[in-house]
Structure 1
Amino acid sequence: MNASNILLLIIVVQLVSVNLAFEKTQNVLSKSKIIHLNGSIGPESVAFDPNGEGPYIGVADGRILKLQLGSNNRLSWAEFAVTSSHRRDCTSPFAPKMEHICGRPLGLRFDTKTGELYIADAYLGLQVVGPKGGLATPLVQKFEGKPLVFTNDVDIDDDVIYFTDTSTKYQRWQFLTSFSSGDTTGRLMKYDKSTKKVTVLLGDLAFANGVALSKNKSFVLVTETTNFRILRYWLKGPLVGTHDVFVELPGFPDNIRINPKGEFWVALQAIRSVPSVSDSKFGMFSYNPQQMGDEGELHPTALKLSEDGRVLEVLEDVEGKTLRSISEIEEKDGKLWIGSVVMPFLRVY
């Protein structure tokens, strides 16, 4: 069999794998309810506090907002916290040139015991703010003397905080360059609250993104966006300290969140394009940066996985007309709260 036939065979196998993963798909996300942000944009992550209040979201101008019921019995967004003290020139909804000054909160997680909110800010590192909100306190901004470049997501296990640094080369505003360059400098890291020690658990990751601890805390998952997969790092058991591939995906994964049953919701920003024969990586899918931008055909997808990585449910907005971007799915009381890094609203399904 010559090289061309081998390449064609690999392409067919990959396409079949993608189709099988979507056998149980439901084109329903376009029917989800919109909750407007009243001038703000980009609710990347969604979190509820230990009392069940919220949701809380981080938006593009550097603030963290809380949805609450006002005196007129109407829902409204109130400022809960900020990640930067330099707020003078931080305008709503978005000042791209000010992101590194105003901060850009991405991943959000509450400590269920203390009520503290842990924040992965793309420019300002790992932070925490108390139950009453206000200005967040930096926890980790450097590692081995070098600044964190692109802090992305976070999860909590009692005294240990797991978080991702997407790249050591490219900041958030350069994410398309990180994609197209094939950058593999991402890291899964942990912060010990008692010792304040920071450790790299996994390095050389391709756009390290979402983080989620398993229900029994035996492993932690991390999404590799540009490798279209989720890795599993073992924290307990005979495989402790090693990692493996949890699942290969048919699209670009963003955040990953666990539900009360221990299943995982994964947000896919877009589905992989048809493989290109001219791709320099033999048999790999080509990447079109427009799939993740404002142009081109998007295909936002919510994927539910079992504890062992099996596909349980697939929810889509096939045409991407009403839900053009999806970054996170947070399940609470039977509802799915859907975040987006670019849209001016939350969606609830």
Structure 2
Amino acid sequence: MDRPTTLRPIRHVRLPGHGPEDVIADPRGRILTGVADGRILRLDGLADPGAPPRVETLADTGGRPLGLELLPGGDLLVCDAERGLLRADLTAGTVRVLADEVAGERLRFASNVVAGPDGSLFVTVSSRRHPLHHWIADIVEDTRTGRLLRLAPGSTAFEVVLEGLRFANGLALSADGTFLVLAETSACRLTRYWLTGPRAGESGPFAENLPGMPDNLWRSGPDGPMWVALAGPRVPALDVLHRAAPAARRAAARAAVHAPFRPTGTAAVLAVDDDGRVVHHLASRRSAFRMVTSVCTTAGHLVLGSLWEPGVAVCAPPIGG
């Protein structure tokens, strides 16, 4: 992979809430995000450095919102790590549960959601062993208990379509709607799941050996690339540990939960096309904004979200678009 170009910050915007894990842009360029206390916020005017952005609270999930997906009618799908898959009416401010269990098992650590062309909703589950507040344990142990779920139109019961995923995370739909791309954070790769055609229901590599751990995915439309947030750089010692015996990995995971954690100073994002080719790789090695868990575009700028930070970062777009 080519050397990255510089990720150029313009401003950091502090929010009235912590940990805007996912950021997405609505059709008017406003940013939607969920914070740790359960609120869904809308940010307007982020690209104007001369004025503070306007921040509105639109809804409260009563849990911990992670991945978001805006529906054409204006409602918002929310993966809540505590409550399951939710649908929020952003006008009325109401929230209802669409599904919160899988085959009798409580759905926890729902990570991201995307709506398929036929109305099906696809949801990633990062871990069946560790909850969100112990996410590092799953990364270290490499439990491979991640899942991809499908909720058929009109159904309240999830179907498991993929299992054994290595911390399943972000989701994005291909431009033509024929496949999904999902992030496997622990494996530093993107995986393709075919929705239609002769390979429907099959999965395979989409982009491997990424320079960091992919988190949320986002695309602005069928003509744009998929943006990939890299929550942290590759850790060679972790790659070695993942090849160790399960008992060693479990012991390391227990230690990791109790050890102090601070993200590295590397902030990085990728953009990939529908053939899995990297078209942009932007990075800052000494970033004041850490653990980039999401990225989207608005008004010609990049907006970064983070599970760690108390706000979002606005960055310059890549040179040449």
TM-score band by shorter chain is 0.7 to 0.9
Q: Does 1:62 align with 2:38?
A: yes
Q: 1:132 to 1:293 in 2, by over 3 A?
A: farther
2:182 to 213, 217, 222: 222
Q: Which of the two has greater strand per residue?
A: 2
1:179 aligned counterpart, secondary structure = helix
**Equivalent position of 1:155 in the other structure:** 114
Q: 1:293 to 1:59 in 2, by over 3 A?
A: farther
Q: 1:242 to 1:296 in 2, by over 3 A?
A: closer
Q: 1:54 to 1:293 in 2, by over 3 A?
A: farther
Q: What's the CA shift for 1:47?
A: 2.3
Deviations 1:291-313 (A, max 9, x none): x9743634221011111111111
Q: What's the CA shift for 1:251?
A: 1.3
Deviations 1:278-327 (A, max 9, x none): 74728xxx99969x97436342210111111111111111123x121201
**Equivalent position of 1:123 in the other structure:** 82
1:78 to 50, 56, 68: 56
Q: What's the CA shift for 1:184?
A: 0.9
Number of residue-to-residue matches in the alignment: 298
Query: 1:271 touches 1:298 (CA, 8 Å); kept in 2?
Result: no
1:339 to 299, 305, 312: 305
Q: Does 1:308 align with 2:272?
A: no
**Equivalent position of 1:328 in the other structure:** 294
**Equivalent position of 1:26 in the other structure:** 5
Matches within 5 A, 1:6-25: 21=1, 23-25=2-4
Q: 1:296 to 1:83 in 2, by over 3 A?
A: closer
Q: What's the CA shift for 1:155?
A: 1.0
Q: What's the CA shift for 1:76?
A: 2.6
Q: Which runs of 5+ in 2 are unaligned?
A: 46-50, 316-321
Deviations 1:4-53 (A, max 9, x none): xxxxxxxxxxxxxxxxx2x2411223x2322221x411111112334x25
RMSD: 2.4
2:21 to 17, 24, 44: 44
Give the fraction of aligned pairs with identical amino acids, expressed as a percent.
Answer: 30
**Equivalent position of 2:149 in the other structure:** 189
The 1-side partners of 2:238 and 2:176 are apart by 41
Q: Does 1:206 align with 2:166?
A: yes
The 1-side partners of 2:58 and 2:44 are apart by 11
Q: What's the CA shift for 1:193?
A: 2.8
1:174 aligned counterpart, secondary structure = helix
Q: What's the CA shift for 1:334?
A: 2.1
**Equivalent position of 1:15 in the other structure:** none
The alignment's TM-score, normalised by the length of structure 2, stands at: 0.85
Q: 1:277 to 1:181 in 2, by over 3 A?
A: closer
Q: What's the CA shift for 1:262?
A: 3.9
The 1-side partners of 2:81 and 2:298 are apart by 26
Q: Which of the two has greater helix per residue?
A: 1
* Partner amino acid, structure 2, of 1:77: V
2:69 aligned counterpart, secondary structure = strand
**Equivalent position of 1:12 in the other structure:** none
The alignment's TM-score, normalised by the length of structure 1, stands at: 0.79
Q: What's the CA shift for 1:264?
A: 1.0
1:175 aligned counterpart, secondary structure = helix
2:137 aligned counterpart, secondary structure = helix
Q: What's the CA shift for 1:331?
A: 1.9
Deviations 1:134-163 (A, max 9, x none): 231001100111101211111112511111
**Equivalent position of 1:271 in the other structure:** 233
Deviations 1:144-200 (A, max 9, x none): 111012111111125111111111111101111112222111101111232334211
The 1-side partners of 2:144 and 2:239 are apart by 23
The 2-side partners of 1:75 and 1:162 are apart by 32
Query: 1:127 touches 1:137 (CA, 8 Å); kept in 2?
Result: yes
Query: 1:266 touches 1:302 (CA, 8 Å); kept in 2?
Result: yes
2:204 to 244, 251, 257: 244
* Partner amino acid, structure 2, of 1:152: S
1:226 aligned counterpart, secondary structure = coil
The 2-side partners of 1:24 and 1:190 are apart by 37
Which structure's CA Rg is the greater one?
Answer: 1
The 2-side partners of 1:245 and 1:277 are apart by 18
Q: 1:32 to 1:280 in 2, by over 3 A?
A: same
Higher RCO (CA 8 Å, separation ≥ 6 residues):
2
